[in-house]
């Protein structure tokens, strides 16, 4: 049973515009949410995270929003750049554990 | 500082064989986790080792096992390989033990081992 879901397998955005990647989860015990970025032939790299006690976290061009009542989070990239083209994974952690539950990923393509 | 290394990077095996994958964490990191990545399932947690002890385990059959050595290096073994075991196996290391609410021990991933079972 997939506890973290990314329903959009792919997304294409023009350079300079906003990219919005979405993620839904089912487990109310998740207390930390993360976004990872993955290029081909490389492991995922951490991008940004948010604790369940917050509803927004910003880091440069990247902002993550958390809506606990809807069990939904999103990643906004503004402005999008061609180098942002990668697969983005949403992940979540249960309190007291180190392991992560991942979504299936969204492939972002930023068109120059 | 060297990152997480995994060997081998690519591996081809046949059904019924067994395989051992290796992971060297970042120096000083004591926690090593293993994940399986397949196209339809994304990344799924296999197990985590901390100070040579398995601390957490995902929902995989007993054919998947692992261990950690005193230098924190970890190995993962899959016995009696099946076609469905074809996947990218990722190792991740983190600095220390469990983090409490509101904080997180960042996991650093290696490049993975691509296993193909024929």
> Residue A82 phi/psi, 5° resolution?
-55, -35
What is the average pLDDT across B51-55? 90
Determine the length of chain B: 118
Q: ∠ at Cα A95 (A97, B69), nearest 5°?
A: 10
Contacts of A13 (CB under 8 A, 6+ apart): A19, A80, A108, A109, A110, A111
B10 touches chain A (CB under 8 A): no
The residue of chain A with its CA nearest to that of B112 is: A43
Q: Of A63-67, B30-34, B97-101, where does mean pLDDT reach its minimum?
A: B97-101
Q: A46 — contact with chain B (CB < 8 Å)?
A: yes
Interface size, chain A vs chain B, as Cβ–Cβ contacts under 8 Å: 74
Residue among A93, A95, A72, A94 at smallest CA distance from A20: A72
> Which residues in chain A touch residue B4, judged by CB atoms under 8 angstroms apart?
43
A51 touches chain B (CB under 8 A): yes
Q: Give residue A7's region: left, alpha or beta (phi > 0; psi -120 to 50).
A: alpha
What pLDDT is stored for residue B1 in this prediction? 64
Q: For A27-38, write each residue's pLDDT tens digit.
A: 999 999 999 999
Q: Is B60 on the interface with A (CB under 8 A)?
A: no
Residue B41: per-residue pLDDT: 80
Please say whether the beta carbons of A6 and A108 come within 8 A.
no
Dig out the tokens for B42 from the structure: 């994304």
pLDDT along chain A (112 residues), means of 10: 91 98 95 93 92 95 97 98 97 84 95 96
Query: Which pLDDT score is estimated for B2?
Result: 77
Mutate which of B3, B24, B41, B42 to disrupt the A interface (most A C-beta within 10 Å)?
B42
**Confidence class for position B78, pLDDT limits 50, 70, 90:** very high
């Amino acid at each position: 049973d997939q506890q973290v879901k990314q329903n959009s397998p792919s997304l294409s955005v023009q350079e300079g515009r906003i990219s919005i990647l979405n993620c839904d989860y089912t487990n109310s015990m998740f207390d930390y949410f993360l976004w990872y970025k993955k290029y081909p032939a490389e492991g995922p790299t951490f991008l940004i995270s948010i604790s369940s006690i917050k509803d927004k976290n910003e880091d440069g061009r990247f902002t993550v929003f958390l809506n606990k009542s809807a069990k939904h989070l999103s990643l906004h990239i503004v402005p999008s750049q061609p180098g942002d083209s990668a697969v983005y994974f949403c992940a979540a952690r249960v309190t007291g554990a180190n392991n992560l539950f991942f979504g299936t990923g969204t492939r972002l393509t930023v068109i120059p | 500082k060297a990152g997480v290394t995994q060997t081998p990077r690519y591996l081809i095996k046949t059904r019924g064989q067994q395989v051992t994958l290796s992971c060297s964490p970042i120096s000083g990191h004591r926690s090593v986790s293993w994940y399986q990545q397949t196209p339809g399932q994304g990344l799924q947690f296999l197990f985590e080792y901390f100070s040579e002890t398995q601390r957490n385990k995902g929902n995989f059959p007993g054919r998947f096992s692992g261990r950690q050595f005193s230098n924190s290096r970890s190995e993962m073994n899959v016995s009696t390989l099946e076609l469905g075991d074809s996947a990218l196996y990722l190792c991740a290391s983190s600095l220390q033990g469990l983090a409490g609410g509101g904080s997180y021990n960042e996991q650093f991933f290696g490049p993975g081992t691509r296993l193909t079972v024929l």
